[in-house]
Amino acid sequence: EAGVAQSPRYKIIEKRQSVAFWCNPISGHATLYWYQQILGQGPKLLIQFQNNGVVDDSQLPKDRFSAERLKGVDSTLKIQPAKLEDSAVYLCASSSRPRLSQFFGPGTRLTVL
């Protein structure tokens, strides 16, 4: 079974630029999560989707971050414009149903200069 796929693996941009990350969850997993993990900290949930609907986006900085999962499969997370403090690893995870085990992708390491 293929795991959670993410791309790109690394991205370096300058502040005020835009960036997008892509995630393809495990086939059949209805629940998809985006996390932000700042160096030295644990992951923090940004947004949770159930199929193509948003379940929880209370910790998403909506003035600059957006995410979509239009067909209930893969998802895109966008930052526009980026700030220095957005430098982090962005992790995507999926589970077959809420409250079941989450499987994480390898993450995208973003550096904002």
Partner 1 sequence: TQLLEQSPQFLSIQEGENLTVYCNSSSVFSSLQWYRQEPGEGPVLLVTVVTGGEVKKLKRLTFQFGDARKDSSLHITAAQPGDTGLYLCAGGRGETSGSRLTFGEGTQLTVNP
In the complex, the residues that contact partner 1 under the rule CB under 8 A are 4, 31, 40-45, 48, 55-56, 91, 93, 95, 98-107
Nearest to 34 by CA among 86, 85, 81, 111: 86
What is the residue type of 107? G
Closest separation in Å from C-beta 17 to partner 1: 24
Report the residue number, 75 or 102, with the smaller CB distance to partner 1. 102
Closest separation in Å from C-beta 9 to partner 1: 8
Report the residue number, 17 or 26, with the smaller CB distance to partner 1. 26
Q: Are 23 and 35 in contact (CB under 8 A)?
A: no
Report the residue number, 22 or 81, with the smaller CB distance to partner 1. 22
The helix/strand/coil state of 86 is: helix
C-alpha–C-alpha distance, residues 38 and 107, integer Å: 12
Report cis status (omega within 30 of 0) of the bond before 25: no
Closest separation in Å from C-beta 110 to partner 1: 14
Report the residue number, 8 or 98, with the smaller CB distance to partner 1. 98
